[in-house]
Amino acid sequence: MDTIHASVLLDEVVQGLLLKDGGRYLDCTCGLGGHSEAILEGCGPTGRLLAIDRDPDAIQLARGRLAHFGDRAEIVEGNFSDVRTYAEATDMVPLDGVVADLGVSSLQLDDAKRGFSFMREGPLDMRMGPKVGATAAEMLEELDVKDLIRILRDFGEVNRPRQVAEAVMSARDEGRLNTTAELAEVIERAIGGRKTTPIHPATRAFQAIRIAVNRELEELEKLLEVLSELVAPGGRVAIISFHSLEDRLVKQAFGDPAPEPQPFKLPVEPERVLGPWEAVTKKPIVPSAKEVASNPRSRSAKLRVAIRRGPEGA
């Protein structure tokens, strides 16, 4: 395969899932199929995998890569928020294990015409599923300055979000915002040039706009809501996130619900309410220095693993 996407934390995901022979597995973010392939190799000759991705280019490449597993691999194009529909339709419930490796792939980042990269001149698109929803250009056309400030601040922790938002809005209104390079230049000028930050000044703003275009946090919230109903007791979930907002949602979902606030102090502690998941990783697993050196895009990855509790919280 010519297109390369180095799968992040591959061994750690496989170890975290404790694959078993004949198990049923789900890869929510198939991409180029690296995690899918490792799972299929590790779950014996009758183990099965359902892999989902919203990107038809990724699906096509993954189908080629996983073809030799025959009908043990089911690959569907769609959003992982619709996982219940896909898992039920392919007879995969209850699942023994799930992986989600969030964010974008190198395939998407490196292809200029997908519009994800400020390093490459391309249209302002940024959709992971290029047939669905508004492009970045269309979204920016609809936003007012307040919305854009919120997106830049909340999804990218961008420095000087107001200056950036105002500069982007005026470039848009003057018709100067048609390509990724134009957007990157506007942001760079508003933030004050490259010397002030170790990373390119447009990095965080591009991330923020991409998250908004693809409704990434809503997708993750919906996935986390439904997963506990699809995974068998004792089944495992491994989620790799790439920024703090995603990691916070995963950490919360894998934790126990906060105790009800008590109007006055009780003589005994209120009983602890257990959630559906028991976290295996109290702290997230991060890539080794060796992995980061060979794949710099892995540097912000955080992996959390949890086990589905049984009916008695076992």
Ligand X SMILES: C[S@@+](CC[C@H](N)C(=O)[O-])C[C@H]1O[C@@H](n2cnc3c(N)ncnc32)[C@H](O)[C@@H]1O
Residues near ligand X (CB under 6 A): 5, 7, 29, 31-35, 52-55, 58, 79-80, 101, 103-105, 128, 219
| Nearest CB to ligand X, comparing residues 16 and 33 | 33
**Burial degree of 94 (CB within 10 A; 0-12, 13-18, 19+):** middle
CA 272/CA 152 separation, integer angstroms: 38
CA 99/CA 107 separation, integer angstroms: 19
Quote the least distance from Cβ 251 to ligand X, whole Å: 19
Please choose, from the candidates 215, 54, 203, 218, the residue with its C-alpha nearest in 3D space to the C-alpha of residue 128.
54
CA 270/CA 92 separation, integer angstroms: 38
Q: What is the dihedral of CA 28, 32, 36, 38, to 10 degrees?
A: -140
**Cα dist. 36→7, 67, 134, 264 in Å?**
10, 12, 29, 51
Quote the least distance from Cβ 115 to ligand X, whole Å: 14
| Nearest CB to ligand X, comparing residues 188 and 291 | 291
CA 275/CA 278 separation, integer angstroms: 8
Quote the least distance from Cβ 297 to ligand X, whole Å: 9
Quote the least distance from Cβ 264 to ligand X, whole Å: 44
| Nearest CB to ligand X, comparing residues 29 and 207 | 29
| Nearest CB to ligand X, comparing residues 7 and 117 | 7
Quote the least distance from Cβ 38 to ligand X, whole Å: 8
| Nearest CB to ligand X, comparing residues 111 and 256 | 111
